[in-house]
Structure 1
Amino acid sequence: MSGSLWLKPPREGTTLPAIPRPRREEAPKTPDTPKTPHAPKTPHAEKTPHAESAPDADLAPDPLDELAERIDGFVAAAVHPDEVAALLESDGMTDDHIRLTYGRADSFALAEDLYARVERRHPAPQAPPAGPRFDGLAHCLLRGLVFALPGLAYVLAAPLLAGEQGRFGLPGGTVPLLAGAVTGWVWNQALSHRAYTWLGLGDRPAAARALLTGALPGALAGTGVALAVAAPGETPAAVFAAGQALYLAAATVLLVLGRERALLGALVPLAGAVPAFRWDLPDPLRIGLLLASLTAAVVLAALVLRPGLRRVAAGRGGPPRAASLPYGLFGLGSGLLVLHAGVGATPVGGAGAVVALTLSMGPAEWLLHRFRGESLTRLRTLTTARAFRRAVTGTLVLCLGGYLTVLVSLALAVTLAWPGAPWPTLPRLLALLLVGTALWLGLLLQAFGAVLGAATVCLLAAAAQTALPAAGPVAAGGAAAVLAVLTCVLLVRPTAHRV
């Protein structure tokens, strides 16, 4: 994995529309008409002095009709009264004001009346906006490829890192490598969210500046953690972990700013690892290929960060840094789940599971985007909340099933392509599917802003697997079940899909 899981950048205009206020217009002045003193009087006029006034002239207009007219467009497109209630509350209408002005108990009662008065009129579905992040399935597959290709660096470096028996039953050098990688995932996930927030505000130079100021400290943090946990004899692994931390920082910059093709070009030297599956390569060639790829990634990241050197207007505040913390925690939990998916099997079989999960991130992105688009289409076309819940649930099942199908296919393909890889057993495939389910549902919740719940579930599952490795499938299955419940509770509500 290359530093950051999929993050949906915040969109502009996510607040509810303001209720338009009617302008107070003065009544036009009419010229005084001259009196007609000689107008004839009739007996009926004397007996019925109020006959000249209309029967409804003394009735005041219903304020509810005026409110319904002002927010007609929003109410007509709503699929549930709760959407209208959310609009009223966001406009500052209190229950006391509603009782005095409209004679209803609260915002929900008022919303139900407005929803019943206005006829449903849903606009035609709009095509999703074109952008650099979602050009289609090919673009998402490209991102999945650049997520997985860095794994070839471990193939090239394996003979250089070989040493004495490591700790916790792992090969020598594994502990500093894992510690540095997990640190990078946490830091870069939070950094990605902050940069995406700036992009959502339309300030690309500020996003580049956030990456510029955060990438180097992240690389230093990953290096420091790897050096701190390295045991005697694991110095080569710690040096490799330093390069890994620097690459993760550079890859995060390129991925966030939409330079996946540039990153793919930087990873081309790692293709020299393919012959290393069958033949022994000279150590200078292995080191040269690793340094060439790392240098290319760092140089390209530095080039795209040039807009971040420009200053913005003084006094402008950025998004709060604390808002990015849950995304870092989700990166920690999901990263540990992926690592645990490769533990408990043969080294080759475990690596194959990690490679399959990493490669699947590309199709996962596309399916997440597909679910988002289909949900917005249903929101615009369906007229009842029940029909919307049924349609969204069906779309969720199809997208999740599609992702798990792709994951199994990738696992089998990696097994066939990897020399000497054992055929995955049914329990191993089941464990892989459970981890994949938890990972995809967590990414989906993160995309809809429910990242804290997803991070908590993934962290608890990862902690359970760390404390009791034998309970790995049970922990992954429990995480998948809890995330499925959270997803169904949140995403069947129409208000969760309003953009």
Structure 2
Amino acid sequence: MSNDTTELPAVPRRRTTTPSWAGPDPVDRLADRFEEFVAAAVHPDEIAALLESDGLSDDQIRERYGVRNSFVLAEELYARVPRRHPEPDGPLDDPWQVGLRACLLRGLVFALPGFAYVLGAPLLTGSPGALGLPAGTVPLLAGALFGWTWNQGLSHRAYAWLGSGDRQAARRCLLVGAPVGALLGALTALAVAGPADGTAVAFAAGQACYLGASTTLLVLGRERALPAALAPMTAGALVAMVRPLPETAGLILLLGSLAAVMLLGLWEVAPAARKSGTPSGPGGPSPAASLPYALFGLGTGALVLYAALGDVLAGEEHSALAAPAAVALTLSMGPAERLLYRFRSGSLTGLRSTGTPGAFQRATTRTGVECLAAYLLVLLALGLAVTALWPDAPALTAVRLADLLLLGAVLWTGLLLQSFGAVLGTAAVCCAAALAQTLALLTHVGDPHTVALTVYATAAAVQALLVRTLLGRATAHR
């Protein structure tokens, strides 16, 4: 064994019994040519991808090597070359080591906008609206759901431009997409509003503008500016939770923070407005590619809204706009992001330390279980803390706790699949789960908590299977 490699148990290199007069076996020559890559491969599919990138067609493979296609040839090469992983000269390069502070900051950024509903409560007074929900709830939730859907798709499209190295095109995408989304979000709220929901529609319009501007800042990596811009609103909300503020003061604080966020977002995309021309990328990302991400935003957004509305829909008198479960889920997004990076880092370690597809799948499964368990522990702690601090919050019963943790499992595994580009499966699962809850609500089938428990458990099981199947393959991590 050489000093710079680590041998792992494997099938000894096989040589064919080609007669000496026939010359070297062409498969052996190919194995010698790609030996370093083949030795480090965890799965034959990695080798098949290399053969295809080298320009070998199936016809050429049949003619030169006497096997059916690139996958059969890859399996033969994988069997002939022992597993061997070269040790790097310096420290291991792990791009997924991300600081905890950055992830917690993003979690805080997701949670702070919730204080707007504390200051905006006087704008949402009146008789109960549709489904017995508090006044103004339906237009607010409709606008929020549209905003999450639109901005999830917009974020993917802008990130695709950033990934191609065209920051100017990403800015142009956000410059157009964020205002259009804000306008459509406000119109959605208006479309479902009742005669007495005028102030709620105005609040929903501000909410739509915030979602568009904050999406711009988050995509362009300027999330550190958001807490500062939201500071006046946050301070006012904290005071209002102890001592009521005059309605005018609350409105001024709300508008001040909203204006600050919108100005910051406009400042970030201003270079795209000043420079004309077409994006420099070759055609750019397809808008259709962003649709699954928008559907994922729709499905997960609806599931979180149902978590917030669960007690009200069950006939219990608790706030529909700030249920402890929804607050805990929002606060958990920072740790959730941190654990997504941890899974990525663990899978990279698995690529370096395992030598067979089965061993790699077991390693990734173990890492996934550990990360999911850590996330659920964090979510449990947040759920208990928020319930204890929330005024007149319902007790966190076994059913409510199971609902919270199962929904957390759905959200985290969904985010994990999305981060690997496996978004179609998780979008389908989340949208189906949200549709099932909607149909149960409209048809009055079963207790909302029991329905939620069944839906979340089913969705979590399906997505866990998707994670094991799709992310247990080494080719998903290369």
**Which TM class, normalised by the smaller chain length?**
0.7 to 0.9
Pairing 1:241–2:212 present: no
> Where does residue 347 of structure 1 map in the other structure?
318
Kept in 1, the 8 Å contact 2:350–2:363? The answer is: yes
Where do 1:160-171 residues align within 5 Å? 160-171=123-134
Kept in 2, the 8 Å contact 1:359–1:410? The answer is: yes
TM-score by length of 2: 0.88
Q: Deviations over 1:23-54 (max 9, x none)?
A: xxxxxxxxxxxxxxxxxxxxxxxxxxxxxxxx
Pairing 1:146–2:109 present: yes
Of 329-338 and 162-171, the range deviating more from structure 2 = 162-171
Give me the whole-angstrom Cα distance separating, in 1, the residues matched to 2:120 and 2:62.
72
> Where does residue 62 of structure 1 map in the other structure?
25
Q: Which amino acid aligns with 1:115?
A: Y
Pairing 1:407–2:379 present: yes
> Where does residue 269 of structure 2 map in the other structure?
305
Kept in 1, the 8 Å contact 2:387–2:395? The answer is: yes
Pairing 1:172–2:135 present: yes
Judged with a 3 Å threshold, the aligned counterparts in structure 2 of structure 1 residues 129 and 308 are, in CA distance, closer, same or farther, namely: farther
The structure that has the greater radius of gyration is 1
Give me the whole-angstrom Cα distance separating, in 1, the residues matched to 2:420 and 2:210.
29
Give me the whole-angstrom Cα distance separating, in 2, the residues matched to 1:428 and 1:278.
28
- Deviation of residue 274 (structure 1)? 1.1
Instruction: Work out which of the residue numbers 344, 349, 369 in structure 2 matches 1:397.
Output: 369
Pairing 1:416–2:416 present: no
Q: Which amino acid aligns with 1:276?
A: A
Judged with a 3 Å threshold, the aligned counterparts in structure 2 of structure 1 residues 90 and 357 are, in CA distance, closer, same or farther, namely: same
Give me the whole-angstrom Cα distance separating, in 2, the residues matched to 1:184 and 1:105.
50
Kept in 2, the 8 Å contact 1:166–1:174? The answer is: yes
> Where does residue 455 of structure 1 map in the other structure?
427
Give me the whole-angstrom Cα distance separating, in 2, the residues matched to 1:199 and 1:270.
32
Give me the whole-angstrom Cα distance separating, in 2, the residues matched to 1:145 and 1:444.
20
| SS at structure 2 position matched to 1:268 | helix
Give me the whole-angstrom Cα distance separating, in 2, the residues matched to 1:152 and 1:314.
41
Q: Which amino acid aligns with 1:243?
A: G
Instruction: Work out which of the residue numbers 280, 286, 290 in structure 2 matches 1:324.
Output: 290
Give me the whole-angstrom Cα distance separating, in 2, the residues matched to 1:293 and 1:263.
9
Judged with a 3 Å threshold, the aligned counterparts in structure 2 of structure 1 residues 316 and 391 are, in CA distance, closer, same or farther, namely: closer
| SS at structure 1 position matched to 2:94 | coil
Give me the whole-angstrom Cα distance separating, in 2, the residues matched to 1:129 and 1:99.
40
Kept in 1, the 8 Å contact 2:169–2:279? The answer is: no
| SS at structure 1 position matched to 2:394 | coil
Give me the whole-angstrom Cα distance separating, in 2, the residues matched to 1:204 and 1:144.
25
- Deviation of residue 123 (structure 1)? 3.6
Q: Deviations over 1:153-212 (max 9, x none)?
A: 001111122112211111111110011001100110000001111111122121111111
> Where does residue 293 of structure 1 map in the other structure?
257
Give me the whole-angstrom Cα distance separating, in 1, the residues matched to 2:324 and 2:348.
36
> Where does residue 359 of structure 2 map in the other structure?
387
Judged with a 3 Å threshold, the aligned counterparts in structure 2 of structure 1 residues 479 and 155 are, in CA distance, closer, same or farther, namely: same
Q: Which amino acid aligns with 1:385?
A: P
Give me the whole-angstrom Cα distance separating, in 1, the residues matched to 2:452 and 2:81.
53
| SS at structure 1 position matched to 2:253 | helix
**Greater per-residue helix proportion:** 2
Pairing 1:201–2:164 present: yes
Give me the whole-angstrom Cα distance separating, in 1, the residues matched to 2:281 and 2:415.
34
Give me the whole-angstrom Cα distance separating, in 2, the residues matched to 1:317 and 1:153.
40
Give me the whole-angstrom Cα distance separating, in 1, the residues matched to 2:54 and 2:87.
27
- Deviation of residue 480 (structure 1)? 0.7
Instruction: Work out which of the residue numbers 467, 470, 473 in structure 2 matches 1:490.
Output: 470
> Where does residue 372 of structure 1 map in the other structure?
344
Pairing 1:252–2:232 present: no
Judged with a 3 Å threshold, the aligned counterparts in structure 2 of structure 1 residues 464 and 413 are, in CA distance, closer, same or farther, namely: same
Kept in 2, the 8 Å contact 1:124–1:381? The answer is: no
Give me the whole-angstrom Cα distance separating, in 1, the residues matched to 2:356 and 2:23.
34
> Where does residue 49 of structure 1 map in the other structure?
none
> Where does residue 27 of structure 1 map in the other structure?
none
Kept in 2, the 8 Å contact 1:326–1:455? The answer is: yes
Q: Which amino acid aligns with 1:78?
A: A
Give me the whole-angstrom Cα distance separating, in 2, the residues matched to 1:127 and 1:409.
33
Identity score, percent: 60
Kept in 1, the 8 Å contact 2:168–2:279? The answer is: no
Give me the whole-angstrom Cα distance separating, in 1, the residues matched to 2:185 and 2:326.
21
Of 115-124 and 262-271, the range deviating more from structure 2 = 115-124
Q: Which amino acid aligns with 2:118?
A: V
Q: Deviations over 1:61-85 (max 9, x none)?
A: 4322332233223212101223212
> Where does residue 464 of structure 1 map in the other structure?
436
> Where does residue 35 of structure 1 map in the other structure?
none
- Deviation of residue 89 (structure 1)? 3.8
Q: Deviations over 1:364-394 (max 9, x none)?
A: 1010011011101210221122221111111
Segments of 5+ residues of structure 1 without an aligned counterpart are 1-54
> Where does residue 79 of structure 1 map in the other structure?
42
Give me the whole-angstrom Cα distance separating, in 1, the residues matched to 2:414 and 2:279.
37
Q: Which amino acid aligns with 2:464?
A: A
Kept in 2, the 8 Å contact 1:166–1:173? The answer is: yes
Give me the whole-angstrom Cα distance separating, in 2, the residues matched to 1:466 and 1:268.
36
Q: Which amino acid aligns with 1:277?
A: M
Of 416-425 and 88-97, the range deviating more from structure 2 = 88-97
Q: Which amino acid aligns with 1:342?
A: A
Kept in 2, the 8 Å contact 1:438–1:479? The answer is: yes
| SS at structure 2 position matched to 1:371 | helix
Give me the whole-angstrom Cα distance separating, in 1, the residues matched to 2:282 and 2:418.
27
> Where does residue 14 of structure 2 map in the other structure?
none
Q: Which amino acid aligns with 1:423?
A: A
Two-structure CA RMSD over aligned residues (Å)? 1.9
- Deviation of residue 59 (structure 1)? 4.3
Give me the whole-angstrom Cα distance separating, in 2, the residues matched to 1:94 and 1:436.
46
Q: Deviations over 1:284-322 (max 9, x none)?
A: 101011001100000111111133233456684110010
Pairing 1:119–2:82 present: yes
Q: Deviations over 1:400-436 (max 9, x none)?
A: 0001111111111112222332331111010011111
| SS at structure 2 position matched to 1:149 | helix
Judged with a 3 Å threshold, the aligned counterparts in structure 2 of structure 1 residues 270 and 324 are, in CA distance, closer, same or farther, namely: same
Q: Which amino acid aligns with 2:76?
A: D
Give me the whole-angstrom Cα distance separating, in 1, the residues matched to 2:127 and 2:116.
21
Kept in 2, the 8 Å contact 1:464–1:472? The answer is: no
> Where does residue 338 of structure 1 map in the other structure?
304
Give me the whole-angstrom Cα distance separating, in 2, the residues matched to 1:305 and 1:227.
28
| SS at structure 1 position matched to 2:135 | coil
> Where does residue 6 of structure 1 map in the other structure?
none
> Where does residue 417 of structure 2 map in the other structure?
445
